[in-house]
Structure formats: structure tokens, C-alpha cells
Structure 1
Amino acid sequence: MNKEENKIQDEELQNNTVEVQDENALDAETDAMISRITELEAALEASEEKVKEQQDSVLRARADVENMRRRTEQEIDKARKFALERFANELLPVIDNMERAVEMADKQDEAIKPMLEGIELTLQTMKSSVEKFGLKELNPHGEPFNPEFHQAMSIQESAEHAPNTVMLVMQKGYELNGRVVRPAMVMVSKAASGNVDEQA
């Protein structure tokens, strides 16, 4: 029986050795798999980070393109609106001189009536032409003084006008598409000194 017991013990020992070897091999495989999984997770995390960075880059590039498109549209719109500004500034003295010629002409003199009619017709044609392109006349007689549109050349006491009212327009102003190209030169009223309660 001793031999048999020894044989059984040897077999058990061999089985245990094989099991330990199998367990060690399994542990080594498991460790290798865990290591590989860790590597793959790190690579996946790095790839996800790159994708996020690229998505952010794409979003920033889209925003930059959109901003550039919007700025370009605004600049083109401004250029369209105010392309005539220099031309209008050169044309305004001509309109002023034609208006003065009409005002100063002797309307009773039959000899110059045809010429005066021609000047008036030319002036009206010129005014209607520039109005089509957004040039608008500022003639603020009787309106409250507004420093955005008017330039006060003098201030005078007046009992007939409310204080801070445009009494006289010395030179008409003009705006181009809502932007003042020349303010109206005006005389502004102030309260007559006898009407002011200085003790108040």
C-alpha cells in the first residue's frame, strides 16, 4: 500500500504542479491581457482627445469663417452706401451756387427768365438725381437745434422763437444714407433777456 500511496501522492503532486503551472500561465496571460487592455484604453483616450481637439478646431474655423463673412458683408454694405460720399461733397457747392443764383436772380426781368428757368430745371434734376442715391437735404428752419445734424454759427435772443430753436439756415446740410456729410449751418435762438427770471 505504501507504493500505491506514494504513487497517488506523486500523481497528486504532479497534478498540483501542472495546476500551479496552468495557474501561472493563466496569470501571465491575464497580466498580458490587462496590460494590453490598459494600452488600448490609453490609445482610445488619446484618440478621443485628438477627435475633441479636431472638433474644436473645426468649430473655431467655422466661427472664424462666419465672422469674416459677416465683416466682409458689412464692409461691402458700407462701401456701397458711402462710395458716393466724396463725390457728394464735391457736388454740394455746385448745388449751393445754383440755389444762390436762383435766389439772387431778378425774377421780374423778362430777359433772364428763360435762363433762370433753365437753372431751376437743372437744379431740380440734380437734386432728384442725388436723392436717388441716398443724399438727403437737411433744412431745419423752425426745428429744435440738434448738434448731430446742425452746426450753430451764432446764437441770438428772440421773443418770437422758443429757446434753442433754429431761427435761420445759413447753409443747408446734407446726409447720405443716414450719415451726415455736411451739417446745416444755423442761427439758434435763446430766450430774450427780459423774459428770463434770473432769480429762479
Structure 2
Amino acid sequence: MADKQHQADKEQAVEQEPLTTDTQDTQAESSVESEQPQQDATYIAELEQQLAEATSNAQAEKDNALRALAEMENLRRRAAQDVEKAQKFALEKFASELLPVIDSLERALEHTDKESDAFQAVYEGVELTLKSLLTTVEKFGVLQIDPTGTPFDPNKHQAMSMVESDEVAPNSVVAVMMKGYELNGRILRPAMVMVAKGPAVDTQA
């Protein structure tokens, strides 16, 4: 009888042991399952932060590249402009040195009587030389400024004196004392001119 009771107690103890182990396993699995979502959320947050940093770095590099391209384009444009200016105005000093020669030829024509048989050949020779010289410098962008009868332009003309005139509109050029010249739109020398002003008004009438 005692043996049967001992056998029954032993079987009951064996039956209770698996129940205790199963309970512990279930609790462990529950703990793992509760920690997994937290780990996933942390990992996702880290990935999002890394993605944001990578996107920011990529945008910064793109901005730097665009800025560098813009600077290169500006340098290229400025270099092209400098070359163009150098080509246009390389003869500026040389052309300026030629102006007194042209002036001398024009004065020679003014003081030579072309109707005189003695000076007709001289006049024609000087006139031909002047025309040839003006044609030559014109090929290189040098143009003569002869503003007779045109409105006064302070950008191209220099007023040497003013005279009363009722024949032309006030502020018009009535005489050119020395012609001006420009090189590809840049003034080498303004024209020296005499400018008309309206007749004086008699305030005593």
C-alpha cells in the first residue's frame, strides 16, 4: 500500500514539472515578442536618420556642383568678353596716334587753293592720301564724327563755344572746329564743336 502511494506521488511530481517548464517558456516568448517591436522601431528610426543625412549631403553636393558650374560659365563668359575687347581695341593707341596726321592733311586741304593750277596737283594728291587713310582706318573700326547740323551730343561732342543763331534750332552744332573719331563705338576723341543758342531776348521792349 505504501508502495502504491509513493508511486502515485512520483507520477504527480513528474506531471507537474512540464507544466512549470511550459509556463517559463511562454513567459520568455512573451517577453521576446514585447521587445521585438521596440527594437524594430529603433532600427527604423536609425535608418530614417541616416537617410535624412544622406539626402542632405547629396543636396549639398548638388548645390556645390551647380555653383561650380555657374562660376566656370561666368569665367568663360568674362574671358570671351576680354578677348573680344582686346581684339576690338588693340589698335586704340595706334589709331589715336594717327589722328594728328589726319588733322594735318585736312588742314592742308583747307589752306590749299584747289582752283589754282599751281596747287591743283598738290591738292588732289593730299585729298587722295586723306581718303585712302580714312578708308584704311575705317576697315579696322575707326569712324569719323562730323556732327555739323546735328543736335549736340555730350557723349560724342565737346562744346568749345556757343553762338546765337536764328537759322538752326538751339543746341544744334553750327560748326565743327575739329572732327571726332570713335573706335568700334568707343570715343577716341570727341568732336570739337560750336553750338547754337537762341537769340537774346530784349527785356527792355
Under TM normalisation by the shorter chain, which class is it? 0.7 to 0.9
Which residue matches 2:134?
127
For structure 2, the residue ranges without an aligned partner over 5 or more in a row are 1-7
Question: How is 1:19-168 mapped onto 2 (pairs within 5 angstroms)?
Answer: 19-168=26-175
Give SS of 1:105's match.
coil
Shift of 1:78: 1.9
Label 1:197 to 1:106 Cα distance change in 2 as closer, same or farther (>3 A). Answer: closer
Q: Report the AA paired with residue 13 of structure 1.
A: T
Residue 63 of structure 1, CA deviation: 0.8
SS in 2 for 1:116: helix
The percentage of counterpart residues that share the same residue type is: 46
Any residues of structure 2 matched to 1:169-188 within 5 Å, and which? 169-188=176-195
Q: Distance in 1 between matches of 2:20 and 2:34?
A: 20
Of the three residues 161, 174, 196, the one matched with 1:189 is 196
> How far is the alpha carbon of 1:187 from its aligned partner?
0.7
* Offset from partner CA, 1:122-173 (integer Å, 9 cap, x none): 1111101111121111111111111111111001111222211111100001
Q: Secondary structure at the match of 1:106?
A: coil
What's the TM-score, normalizing by structure 2?
0.83
How much is the aligned-residue C-alpha RMSD, in angstroms?
Answer: 2.6
Q: Which has the larger radius of gyration?
A: 2
Amino acid at match of 2:60: E
Read off the aligned partner of 1:43 and give its amino acid letter.
Q
**Separation in 2, partners of 1:27, 1:152:** 97
1:43 alignment partner, SS class: helix
Q: Aligned partner of 2:43: which letter?
A: R
In the alignment, structure 1 segments of 5+ residues that lack a partner are none
Please report how far the alpha carbon of residue 4 of structure 1 lies from its aligned counterpart in structure 2 after TM superposition: 7.2
SS at match of 1:187: strand
Q: Which of 16, 38, 50 does residue 23 from structure 2 map onto?
A: 16
